[in-house]
Homo-oligomer: A and B are copies of this chain.
Amino acid sequence: MTRKLLKTRSIAPLLRIDPASTLSLQAQLRTRIVEAINASVLVPGRRLPSSRKLASELGISRNTASLAYQQLIADGHLVARERSGVFVADSPVLVKHPARAIASRSHDDTASEARTKMHAQLATSVGFRCPPDWQKYRYPFIEGRYDQSLFPVAEWREASRLALGVKEIETWSIDDGDADDEMLIEEIRTKLLPRRGITARPDEILITAGEQQALHLLAELFARPGITLGMEEPGLPSMRELVALRAAEARYLDIDEDGLIVGPEISECDIVHVSPSRQRPTGVTMSMKRREALIAAANTNDFLIIEDDFECEMNYLREAQPALHAMTGGERVLYVAALSKLLAPGIRLGYLVAPADVISAARRLRGLTTKRPSPNNQRTAAYFLSLGHYDAMLTRLNRVCEQRLIALRDALNHYRPESIAIPPVDGGTAYWVKGPDGLDANRLVKAAEAKGMVIEPASDYFADPVGRKNMFRLGITSLPVDRIRPGVELLSQVMRDLGTETGDGRMAEHDHLAGTAVRKALSGATLLYKTVYGEPCTIEVRRNGTLVGRAGYANEDRDEGKWWIEGDRWYRSWDRWAYGESAGFFVAVEGDALYWLNDDGRVVDGAVIVSERTQSA
């Protein structure tokens, strides 16, 4: 009877082992025993079964049980007494529960009082938020999230292992000072900055928790009532908020396809925040002419520039421009950048390059707000860079992103949902999409979400969102390339449905030509139109039934195909373009304007007929 009772007191049921866990059996066993001690289920002095007995009860090897005990004894959770066994230590947990009973209570009572004293601006809610379960969506066209396959697992592990060497730990764990990791500073100074044309001394560089902290430190250092800060419109919402928190004046500067427009209002600024490599959020790159104009304006009007060198390492469609900081006159540029976005969600490291006295003040402010960014991550990143893993990662990442971005561009060009437009980009990870004027992007986001698609509306990026409700962003970091085309096709359909629902009658319907008239209008014609990303494209519709297409400013892209008539529809089939698939459209002509129509008689695309008469003459 007693034996039976003892047997029922087996601790095995407490120590549930999960075969699917990523933890080793031994680590699981230790975790469970520590939990049971913490929860006072295993009390001090309690004798544990022998490792042999525990192993047989749990169906694990004796070695595993024995090693777990050994570690727990070494850690002081258990004690071994010779010849009598293993016991829970007398004071295994350092700080005991205070004697005072813990009343379980809600904090809601004080919420209201606290709220009255809280900074009103920070208590208000934000705009669009990516659904936390975005990974469950089939088409997550969302930026800043990365599909798992891209993370350099083995390489980061190697760097971590090196940074966990005993001598290494000494460099980052002992000193609570404000100095950054010297090795990381050297890697940035000698490898990353020279690629941007920048030379800097170590005391002109500060490591930050991502570029966001660099922007925060600069805002705190320079923005205050009486100071006017120029910002891009559209631009980074967090920058606007930082400026508002400091109660500085904001001046919004428009963006076009060449980046920030350097107009007369810039002379009113004390500081201008600009993202020239890849404008946040439109993705456009600032042209060299504009860069020179900006620097000249800064010199004339004596303002400082915060250069937010976002995605400077992701130019795969065109060569990178040097940083503003590297240009003549760049001394007044405070330079902000970050290690690749691919590392950013998990390891947030950025850097600020500025005159030594600005760095010194920023370092002091950093000490008041967060102290220096995780020194262990700084050293790991230093190894990751020095071993060449960082460059290798960028090469892989850019190859993948280039493929996806072109796939997105081509799909948008192919499906052209509701006459959208996208600006030209040199690279990056997203397209800024402008829809027809009547589009309500917030409604589109909701309708798309119902179809398994995550899309970011663009209105949050505008200080003045009035009349800017028709824009949204499509990112490519978080979905594989083969989802992009079907995703855009679906998006196109959602946009069409939405347009119909709203009864938006912008799209005039046209009467289509009969088959013979189509042949007469098109055979031998040359058609001129623009890609959705703004490049010119000509199509020769040859009398012999072939097509020759040329796209790009230098006709850099060329394709051939066939055309024919079936009923009243004009069909075409390119070798590569339009996914090499044949498609047929009704056709309408008004003057020299040609419209391709779908089955409902709605315009799908348009072109200008430039040489019908001459060729057919």
Contacts and interface: CB of A to CB of B under 8 A. Distances in A.
B209 A102 contact: no
Contacts of A497: none
Interface string A366-396: 0111111111110000000011110110111
A317 interface: no
Interface in A333-374: 334, 343-348, 354-358, 360-361, 364-365, 367-374
Contact of A195 (B93, B169, B198): B93
A326 interface: yes
A151 B173 contact: yes
A221 to B, nearest CB: 5
B357 A123 contact: yes
Nearest to A163: B160
B122 A364 contact: yes
Interface stretch (A51-59, A105-113, A251-259): A105-113
A156 interface: yes
A191 interface: yes
B361 A123 contact: yes
A31 B195 contact: no
A392 B119 contact: no
A5 interface: no
A354 B98 contact: no
B209 A354 contact: no
A174 B119 contact: no
B22 A135 contact: no
A371 B210 contact: yes
A320 interface: yes
Counted per complex, copies of this chain come to: 2
B195 A117 contact: no
Interface in A24-44: 27, 30-31, 33-35, 37-38
Contact of A332 (B113, B157, B241, B396): B113
B196 A173 contact: no
Contact of A100 (B190, B304, B322): B322
B156 A170 contact: no
Contacts of A190: 38
Contact of A117 (B33, B304, B374): B304
A22 B221 CA distance: 40
A92 interface: yes
Given A107-B354, A213-B370, A304-B113, A97 B194 contact: yes
A617 interface: no
A299 to B, nearest CB: 11
Interface string A2-38: 0000000000000000000011000100110111011
Interface in A69-117: 72, 74-77, 92-98, 100, 102-105, 107-111, 113-115, 117
Contacts of A130: 177
Contacts of A135: 174
Contact of A368 (B242, B328, B354, B386): B242
A167 interface: yes
A93 to B, nearest CB: 6
Interface stretch (A142-150, A432-440, A537-545, A561-569): A142-150
B110 A321 contact: no
Interface in A389-436: 389, 391-392, 394-396, 398
Nearest to A77: B388
B111 A355 contact: yes
A450 interface: no
A348 B371 contact: yes
A368 B114 contact: no
B109 A331 contact: yes
A142 to B, nearest CB: 9
8 contacts: A27-B158, A95-B195, A111-B357, A118-B357, A118-B361, A145-B175, A209-B374, A238-B368
- Going nearest first, the 5 A-B pairs with the smallest beta carbon separation are A75-B392, A98-B322, A34-B388, A173-B346, A144-B176
